[in-house]
């Protein structure tokens, strides 16, 4: 019996509209928290910078620098939540989420220059100690510590899938440790007369900035290069998708990437058993979509059904990928 396959080389697109609606709703709920956290952090950043200049404390200036990192991270998180609600358009079919990644990458690069400046100043002060107004330093550092506790409290209890707020919370936690270091430096200078504690602890705060900046530049750079998300092994993806339905003969040319943190995409080719009907394609597509979503949190998948051996083989389709039979 002959079967009429009018579209043997079909592309089937899967759009997760419900997920997009839920994501936009969750983003809207987080906007208020992020905006409050950003404003409070910005105010403390200005206070610590002024306090560092008046008191002569490098530790306060270093913590202000760390707060600058956090303020920018919170601003990016807020903008990410705001832009997440904007629909895609004809020019930006994936929406505006990658603005957050681009800004984060630039932000991380600027922090390396900030760390170099703080470490240079700290080394200079170790050899030529400067007078420090420990009272002003202690008050400002304590206020910074309280502000960070408040911000962390506001951000606490976010949706575990909200990578945006989770990343902002990690930045604030790092700044909380920086504020603790500034308080300890102020106490050491005031009660022990250890002026060297200020530059030494400022170097420790700089290391916190460097660690956060390196993590951010590595993560954002990986997303911009459309690298495979963390925890996703393409060999395992192909193997498990091959077993998603008995009608699948071969899974290859698999790509999984992120448009922005938490937004995963995938494309792949699927070869079905000879004589497969459109109903078979629909069943297999449902099985593939479900597995991609539940197993690897892929929200948008494009599946190409091949009418036998891949017609794009001569173009390097699946080059470097092991075919699963």
Q: What is the pLDDT of residue 289?
A: 95
Helices then strands (H, E): number in the chain? 8, 4
Q: pLDDT, tens digit, for every residue of 249-294?
A: 999 999 999 887 678 999 999 998 888 788 888 999 999 999 999 9
Measuring CA to CA, how many Å separate 197 from each of 50, 114, 135, 171, 223?
A: 20, 20, 15, 24, 39
Q: What is the pLDDT of residue 278?
A: 81
Q: What is the pLDDT of residue 241?
A: 94
The H or E element that residue 197 is part of is helix 197-224
d(CA 295, CA 293): 6
Write down the mean pLDDT value for the chain.
Answer: 77
Query: What b-and-e string marks burial along 75-98, b requiring 16 or more CB atoms within 10 Å of the CB?
Result: bbbbbbbbbbeeeeeeeeeebbbb
Q: How confident is the model at residue 26 (pLDDT cuts 50, 70, 90)?
A: very low
Q: What angle do CA 80, 85, 89 make, to 5 degrees?
A: 105
Q: What is the pLDDT of residue 240?
A: 93
Q: What angle do CA 137, 138, 143 make, to 5 degrees?
A: 100
Of 41, 60, 48, which Cα lies nearest the Cα of 186? 60
Give the best-scoring range by mean pLDDT among 100-109, 191-200, 210-219, 251-260. 251-260
Classify 118 in phi/psi space as left (phi over 0), alpha (psi -120 to 50) or beta: alpha
Query: At a CB cut-off of 8 Å and minimum separation 6, what does 133 contact?
Result: 54, 55, 56, 57
Q: What is the pLDDT of residue 157?
A: 62
Once rounded to an integer, what is the mean pLDDT over residues 151-157?
76
Of the ranges 26-30, 186-190, 224-228, 266-270, which one carries the lowest mean pLDDT score?
A: 26-30
Counting residues of the chain whose pLDDT is more than 70, the rounded percentage is 80
Instruction: State yes or no: pLDDT of 53 exceeds 50.
Output: yes
Q: How confident is the model at residue 323 (pLDDT cuts 50, 70, 90)?
A: very low
């Amino acid at each position: 019996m002959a079967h009429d396959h009018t579209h043997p080389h079909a592309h089937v697109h899967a759009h997760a509209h419900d997920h997009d609606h839920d994501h936009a709703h969750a983003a809207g709920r987080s906007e208020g928290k992020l905006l409050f956290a950003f404003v409070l952090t910005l105010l403390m950043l200005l206070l610590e910078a002024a306090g560092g200049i008046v008191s002569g404390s490098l530790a306060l200036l270093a913590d202000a620098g760390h707060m600058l990192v956090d303020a920018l991270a919170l601003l990016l998180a807020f903008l990410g939540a705001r832009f997440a609600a904007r629909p895609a358009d004809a020019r930006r079919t994936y929406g505006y989420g990658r603005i957050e990644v681009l800004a984060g990458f630039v932000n991380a690069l600027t922090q390396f220059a900030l760390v170099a400046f703080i470490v240079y100043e700290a080394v200079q002060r170790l050899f030529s100690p400067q007078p420090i107004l420990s009272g002003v330093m202690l008050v400002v550092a304590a206020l910074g510590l309280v502000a960070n506790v408040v911000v962390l409290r506001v951000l606490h209890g976010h949706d575990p899938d909200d990578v945006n707020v989770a990343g902002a919370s990690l930045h604030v936690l790092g700044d909380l440790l920086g504020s603790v270091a500034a308080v300890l430096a102020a106490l050491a200078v005031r009660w022990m007369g250890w002026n060297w504690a200020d530059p030494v602890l400022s170097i420790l705060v700089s290391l916190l900035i460097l660690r956060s900046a390196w993590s951010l530049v590595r993560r954002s750079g990986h997303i911009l290069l459309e690298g495979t998300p963390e925890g996703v092994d393409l060999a395992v993806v192909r193997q498990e998708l091959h077993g998603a339905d008995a009608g699948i003969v071969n899974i290859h040319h698999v790509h999984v990437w992120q448009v922005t943190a938490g937004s995963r995409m995938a494309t792949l080719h699927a070869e079905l058993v000879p004589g497969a009907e459109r109903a078979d394609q629909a069943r297999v597509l449902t099985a593939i979509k479900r597995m991609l979503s539940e197993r690897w949190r892929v929200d948008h998948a494009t599946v190409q059904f091949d009418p036998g051996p891949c017609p794009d083989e001569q173009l390097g389709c699946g080059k470097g990928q092991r075919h699963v039979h």
